[in-house]
Structure 1
Amino acid sequence: MPRQLDQTGTQQASLAKRFAALIYDLLVLIGLLFCVSALWIVFNNGEAVSGPFYNTSLFLTIFLFNAYFWTRSGQTIGMMAWRLRVQTVDGYTLNWTQSLIRFFSSLFSIACFGAGYWTMLLNDERLTWHDRFSDTRVVVLPKRDTKKQPK
């Protein structure tokens, strides 16, 4: 069940921060995909692996990585590092259907030479195609006050 997220001090995320979080997540995903591939190789007696089942497992790994974090806290590991969060327009965590729509529409955004991302520079709402299609927003979270308060 989606849960309401704190909206205090949030603002729309910039394209640069989104790309930075995406690159960070790609690095984590590469490591995860290496682990999945290693499992396939172990079960294939040390031989190279290819084929539709292997490719599907890699694709599902990428989707489940993103959807798990989006539905749990709204933040992937890269988004945590850059203080970004994806949420519904009303400020809730995404459900699995929204995650699926967001995932596939973000692939479409990238496949069109990034046009789905670049359009955020042309509209006042600063929304990408996948933001619009899934009724979600990526916001920047305020910095936490790490200074200790005197007692």
Structure 2
Amino acid sequence: MQATNPVIVATPTIRRRVFSMLYEFFLLLSVQVLAVALYLLVTLNSQHPVAEHGRNLFVLLVTGAYFIYCWTNSGHTLAMKTWRIKVVKLGYARLPYKTAALRFLFAWGWFLPALLVCWAFGLRGKQVAFAVMAGIAAWALTAFLDKDRQFLHDRLAGTRLIALPKVVRK
């Protein structure tokens, strides 16, 4: 009987994941600008408060669709591919839709607590920026508490990020 050696998959460094997230921010910004433009075109640039809430919901849904589509089809977004990072779930060839949706919801932990604090205490301007940065830093520190160096949203969703090898071109 042959012993099978488990494949050891490297976890990308936290630095690499943070740079991927920064790159993702700029790519996602363009997706969201297109979503807002489409929404304004469809609603004829309505300034009604309900239309503004609808716009925010539409942008949230488009953002979720972008991430869920990318994660379930290829395992990475364009930024993750650039930084050779892939999201996987043990035992699955592709990330299931339910798992991708959970990961998206749990990833709001990067921002939502700080935004709720800002809303509850009526913070504005630089205070909001500071609160969000503090929330992001706190969430990033969760990777140091995890034995596999995974962020909290990956642990909660049952996913993990793996480092892909460099492509050797001949």
Interval containing the TM-score (normalised by the shorter chain): 0.7 to 0.9
Query: Are 1:29 and 2:28 an aligned pair?
Result: yes
Per-residue CA deviation, residues 83-139 of structure 1 (Å, 9 max, x unaligned), is 000000335321111111111111114445133331112332112111111111101
**Aligned partner (choices 149, 158, 163) of residue 135 of structure 1:** 158
The runs of 4+ residues in structure 1 deviating greater than 3 Å are 7-10, 44-50, 109-112
Whole-angstrom CA distance in 2 between matches of 1:16 and 1:97: 28
Unpaired stretches in structure 1, ≥5 consecutive residues = 1-6
Contact 1:84–1:139 at 8 Å: present in 2 too?
A: yes
How far does residue 40 in structure 1 lie from its aligned partner after superposition?
2.1
The structure-2 alpha-carbon separation of the partners of 1:105 and 1:68, relative to structure 1 and needing over 3 Å to count, comes to same
AA paired with 1:11? A
How far does residue 47 in structure 1 lie from its aligned partner after superposition?
5.4
Aligned to 1:85: 86
Contact 2:39–2:58 at 8 Å: present in 1 too?
A: no
Unpaired stretches in structure 2, ≥5 consecutive residues = 1-5, 114-134
Query: Are 1:122 and 2:123 an aligned pair?
Result: no
AA paired with 1:127? Q
AA paired with 1:96? Y
Whole-angstrom CA distance in 2 between matches of 1:97 and 1:79: 20
The structure-2 alpha-carbon separation of the partners of 1:91 and 1:15, relative to structure 1 and needing over 3 Å to count, comes to farther
Contact 1:106–1:116 at 8 Å: present in 2 too?
A: no
Per-residue CA deviation, residues 32-52 of structure 1 (Å, 9 max, x unaligned), is 111111122223335557422
Query: Are 1:17 and 2:40 an aligned pair?
Result: no
The percentage of counterpart residues that share the same residue type is 23
Which structure shows the higher helix fraction?
Answer: 2
AA paired with 1:43? V
Compare relative contact order (CA 8 Å, sep 6+) and give the higher one, 1 or 2. 1
- The number of aligned residues is 141
1:46-85 matches, cutoff 5 A: 46=45, 50-85=51-86
Whole-angstrom CA distance in 1 between matches of 2:111 and 2:152: 10
Q: CA RMSD in A?
A: 2.2
Contact 2:87–2:161 at 8 Å: present in 1 too?
A: yes
With structure 2 as the length reference, what TM-score do the two structures score? 0.74
How far does residue 140 in structure 1 lie from its aligned partner after superposition?
0.6
Whole-angstrom CA distance in 2 between matches of 1:66 and 1:104: 11
- Structure of greater Rg: 2
Secondary structure at the aligned position of 2:22 is classed as: helix
